[in-house]
């Protein structure tokens, strides 16, 4: 595809985030897929110009995140942990 840049075109920092509403929150931090529609203060809003080079990727659902995480990490490479301040930040369900 002409003009398409893949994730292997430069250095990549792959990471896994977890937490309440993490997909929704993560996508808010990233900004709209089209950087020109992204709010200032978002990663794409501050650092990207074109859709094909929007500098970051975030999964659109937990299910797709699980598939994408498996592309980058083995099961033994992803660690889940609870911050000491967790109970002070989150209400119990």
24 is catalytic: no
Distance CA(32)–CA(9), nearest Å, equals: 22
The single residue of 20, 53, 57, 67 carrying the catalytic annotation is 57
Query: Could you tell me the two tokens for 91?
Result: 């209400």
Instruction: Classify 4 in phi/psi space as left (phi over 0), alpha (psi -120 to 50) or beta.
Output: beta
Measured over the CA atoms of residue 49, residue 57, residue 31 and residue 34, the dihedral's sign is positive
Its pTM stands at 0.76
Cβ–Cβ < 8 Å for 52, 4: yes
One digit per residue, the tens of pLDDT, for the chain of length 93 reads 344 456 667 788 899 998 889 999 999 999 999 999 999 999 999 999 988 887 889 999 999 999 999 999 998 999 888 889 989 988 887
Q: How far apart are the first and last CA of the chain?
A: 47
């Amino acid at each position: 595809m002409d003009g398409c840049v893949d994730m292997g075109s430069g250095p990549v920092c792959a990471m896994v985030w977890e937490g309440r509403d993490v997909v929704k929150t993560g996508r808010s931090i990233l900004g709209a897929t089209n950087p020109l529609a992204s709010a200032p203060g978002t990663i794409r809003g501050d650092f990207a110009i074109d859709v094909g080079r929007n500098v970051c990727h975030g999964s659109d659902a937990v299910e797709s995140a699980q598939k994408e995480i498996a592309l980058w990490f083995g099961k033994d490479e992803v660690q889940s942990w609870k911050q000491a301040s967790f109970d002070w930040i989150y209400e119990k369900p």
